[in-house]
Structures are given as structure tokens and as C-alpha cells.
Amino acid sequence: MTTKPRARRPRKSAADAPSASGRAAPKYDPVGSSPYEQPTIRRPRRARMAATALAPAGTRSAANVGVRGVEIVQVIQALDNRVRLIAGKPTIVRVYLDPATVAASTLVTGEITWRRANGGAFYLAAMNRVKLDPAGTPDLMGQRFDVAESLNFVLPADALGAGSIELRLDHLNVPGGEKLPLAAQPAMIANFVAAPVLRIRAIGLRYRSTNAPTATITPGAIHFDYLRSYLTRAYPVAALEWSQIVIDGDRLRPPFGSNQSILVNAQLSALRMREISSGMDPRAHYYGLVDNEAGKSFMRGSALYDEATTIFGAVACGPCGVPNGWTGDSDASFADWYGAHELGHTFQRRHPGFPTFDPVQGTGQPRDNLETTFPYAGGLISSPAQEFVGFDFGDPALGLQMRALPGNIHHDVMTYADSQWLSAYTYEAIHDRLVHEDTALAPPNA
Ligand SMILES: [Zn+2]
């Protein structure tokens, strides 16, 4: 890509093209319009020195700011950007700057350009500013582990369509001030691939409490919301086809025995068959939620499994409730990662065997004999070299912050270990299964 011309700014006539922030600028109607409503299409600020020296003097004479690496991230990524990018899925470009090239602590922000094929380039401003400090900025691993230590660019929806875009770090500057010296940066190619939608029918199962016989226990809306959000954020899809209902659980009575989830799956299977015969998409996976009655009635989850064919069905169920710190989870629901695990089974994912099973204590996870290729020691989402780092966009509606997920403490969702996320291994495998089901199980006239 070395022969590509330098990116140009969009021409001024393109007032309805996305602005630098990725939003469409308002159209300017010269007739009957207040002059105050004119769109700002001029670049808002040229980098320049303020009257009082804004930048530490050292930054002006320093060598070019170095770039340690750039990751284009959706769920999990490596520095060589080998993990598939799904078209339409929220995407962040993380730039890791080398603090050795500034003489003193300096706030830095900047812009990238992105362009599709031979189209015009769009400027995109960073969503944050980073403090580049020769004494305080962590090493590359530390930068990847902390979303506040990378310069972050959220790609606009226009950039996420199927196909390739070219990205380039254009410049760095002190916020509102002068540009920092930066060598011309190489272009990167981000290739977005369309993925099937994830079809989930979430079924809340109601039951009568034995602790308080007049009470009916029903999963709250928050648990559905957390599961839906987590699947949207962590699964290899850009979109969910989601529906939810609450029904009475057949033979669902606490205290729950060890086969309770098998009974629930039988009910869900029958429901799924009936609904598919009356028009439900046969690619829909069904997931049952059973509230844990504030910890008093815990139903262990499971997925439908055919021992003879060694194939999982498209039906699973699990508990929901408030985790109170269980497995490192302190938000309002554990239905999210628990459900993502059980649904992972319905996409033919198996137990990799972490934490190591202890047959005496009965703790840990027995490894599924058919799971022979899980790549990471300890069930983590990365090798010890930290080739992979996870990333969670968060969900403002649920108060969940955007954060990086260090690969040395986060475990694959198919383990029983704490702090779960999808490893690249599980991410790619679920994607492959979704692609398979999308055609193999498609309704005959769809
Ligand atoms: Zn499992």
C-alpha cells in the first residue's frame, strides 16, 4: 500500500459526508435559515502554539513520537490484528505510543484517517487523550491492558461495512495545541467480513418457592438485558435476533436436583419444536433462565446433548441472579456469562478442563475428551506472552464501562474459571458454527 496517495481531507462541498467525528454534518439551507445554523465544515483548530507555552518545551525538539503498535479490536485481538473483524460490529482502533520520545509528561491526542477503496479519506478524532510520560507510561503490555493508556478511535458505522478500509495515524497533537513530530505512518488494512445474525429465544421459567409457598419466582428483566447485552458484545456477531417470554416451568420445583436442568431442557425442546413448526426460524437457539431466589434455589445449567451422536442441541438453560462478587462478577446479574457459556455448548463448544478437576474435592472442570485443541494454559484467553488482549465495549444502558480485558487474568467462557470472556479460539469456533448453521439449518424457503 506504499503507492497509495496521502489521504486528502474531504472536499468542502461534501457537507453531508460524515464529519471528523463520524456524524453527518447538518445540511445547510441558505433560504430562511439563521446564519447561526451554518454547519461548521471548517477544521475547528489548526495546531498552533498558545501564547503561554502549552506544551512542555521538550516536546518541541524531541525526536518523532514512536508508535509501539496498533490494534483494531472488537472482542479480542493480537498485535498483528489476526482476529477476524465482523462487519457492522463496534470497532475501536487502539494506538500505543512510545513515551521515550517525549522529554516530559505530555497530554496527547490525535486523528486517524480512514478510506474505502479509492474513496475520499475521512478524518476521525481520538475519543480520548493519553498522558505520555517517560517515567510513568507502562510498557506495551501495560498499555494493552488499560483502555486509558491507548489512544482510542471508535470507527463510525460507515467504516464498518463488509470489505476493506485503509487506516492511517495522521497526526498527534497536544489537546487544542501544537502537533507533535510524527514520522509518516504506514497504512493498515482492516477487512470486515459479514457474519450471520445470532438468533436467541430467551425463556424465563417461573416456579413456586418452597421457602415462601405463596411466592412465585420469576427472572427479572435485568437478567434478560444482561444476557442480551453480553451476547451482543462478546459473540462474533454484529446483530442479535432476540425475543423473550416467561412461562411456567414444568416440574420445576426447588430444591433443584442435579437433573433439574435436563427437565427444563426437555420442556424447552418441546416448545422449540412446536414454535418451529409454526414458523419460528429453525436456526434459533433457545435459552432458559431460572432465577436463583436470591441464592436460595440454585439450578445448575446445562445444554442439551446427544451422547450417541456427540452433538449438542440448540437448547440450554441456566440460573440467573445477582452475583455479589461470585467468580469475580460484581454487577447486577450473572445471567450474562453463564448464559454465554451454556449457549457456547449449543454452538458445539466443550469444556477445556479449567480449573483442573480435582476428583477428591469434586472441584474444577473435567476436560471434555473431545476438546483436544484448546490452546491456552490455565484456561486463559491468551498465552503467557499476552499475544491476545480482550476488549469489552461496555454498555452505557447497564452502566458497564468500556475496558480492556488483560489476557493474564481473564478466562475463556467455556471454563469454570473466574472473569470470563471469549478467547480468540472460542470466538472463531462459534463464528464457524454460526456460518455452518446459517445455511445448513436455514428454513427451506428462506
Ligand atoms: Zn458447560
Q: What pLDDT, on the 0 to 100 scale, is given for residue 117?
A: 86
pLDDT band with cut points at 50, 70 and 90 for residue 44: very low
Q: Would 305 be classed as within a structural domain?
A: yes
Domain assignment present for residue 346? The answer is yes
Average pLDDT along the chain: 88
- Looking at the fold, whether 117 and 159 belong to one and the same domain comes out as yes
pLDDT at 157: 97
- pLDDT tens for 226-271 read 999 999 999 999 999 999 999 999 999 999 999 999 999 999 999 9
Task: Please indicate, yes or no, if residue 276 is contained in any of the structural domains.
Answer: yes
Q: What does the pLDDT look like over 286-341, one tens digit per residue? A: 999 999 999 999 999 999 999 999 999 999 999 999 999 998 888 999 999 999 99
* 104 vs 407: which has the higher pLDDT: 407
Cα 388 from Cα 222, distance rounded (Å): 31
Same-domain check for residues 212 and 168: no
**CA 342: distance to chain centroid?**
18
Burial (Cβ within 10 Å: 0-12, 13-18, ≥19) of residue 259: exposed
Does residue 229 share a domain with residue 136?
no
Q: Which residues pair with 18 in a beta bridge?
A: 24
Last residue of a domain, one of 169, 193, 217: 193
Span from the CA of 347 to the centroid of ligand 1 (angstroms): 12
Tell me the CA–centroid distance for residue 349 and ligand 1, in Å: 9
- How many beta carbons lie within 10 A of that of residue 82, not counting itself? 11
Q: How far is the CA of 351 from the centre of ligand 1 (A)?
A: 6
Same domain, 137 and 244: no
Residue 226 and residue 336 in contact, taking contact as beta carbons nearer than 8 Å:
yes
Distance of CA 209 to the CA centre of its chain: 36
Residues 182 and 217 in one domain: no
Helix (H) and strand (E) counts in the chain: 6, 21
In this prediction, residue 327 carries a pLDDT of 86
Residue 292 one-letter amino acid: N
Q: How many CB atoms lie within 10 A of CB 145?
A: 21
222 in any annotated domain: yes
Confidence (pLDDT) at 291? 98
Q: Output the pLDDT for position 118.
A: 82
CATH of the domain at 255: 3.40.390
Maximum distance among all Cα pairs of the chain, rounded to whole angstroms: 82
**CB of 357 within 8 A of CB of 350?**
no
Same domain, yes or no: 123 and 257: no
Q: How far is the CA of 342 from the centre of ligand 1 (A)?
A: 6
Q: Which of 193, 209, 231 is the last residue of a domain?
A: 193
Segment 342-354 shows an average pLDDT of: 98
Residue-range definition of the domain harbouring residue 180: 62-193
Reported confidence tier of residue 21, pLDDT bands at 50, 70, 90: very low
Ligand 1 centroid to Cα of residue 344, in Å, is 8
Q: Is the confidence at residue 362, as pLDDT, over 60?
A: yes
Residue 19 has pLDDT above 80, yes or no: no
Closest CA to 301 of 346, 271, 332, 331: 346
Q: From the CA of 202, how far away is ligand 1's center (Å)? A: 18
Burial of 11 (0-12, 13-18, 19+ CB in 10 A): exposed
Q: How many domains does the chain have?
A: 2
Report CA(413)–ligand 1 centroid distance (Å): 9
The answer to whether residue 213 scores a pLDDT higher than 90 is no
User: For residue 102, what pLDDT is reported?
Assistant: 86
Instruction: Tell me the CA–centroid distance for residue 24 and ligand 1, in Å.
Output: 45
**pLDDT at site 330:** 87
Query: Rounded distance, CA 65 to CA 106, Å?
Result: 11
- The pLDDT of residue 29 is above 50: no
Q: Tell me: do 153 and 225 sit in the same domain.
A: no
Do 124 and 214 share a domain, yes or no? no
The residue from 172, 193, 214 where one domain ends is 193
Distance 104 CA to ligand 1 centre (A): 51
CATH of the domain at 96: 2.60.40
Specify if 359 maps to a domain. yes
pLDDT band at residue 139 using 50, 70 and 90 as cut-offs: very high
Q: Measure 396 CA to ligand 1 centroid, in angstroms.
A: 29
Distance 87 CA to ligand 1 centre (A): 29
The average pLDDT across 168-181 equals: 94
Q: What Cα–Cα distance (Å) separates residue 122 from each residue in 70, 116, 150, 189, 292? A: 18, 9, 21, 15, 50
Q: Which three cell numbers stand for residue 428?
A: 472463531
Instruction: Please report whether residue 218 resides in a domain.
Output: yes
Same domain, 135 and 205: no
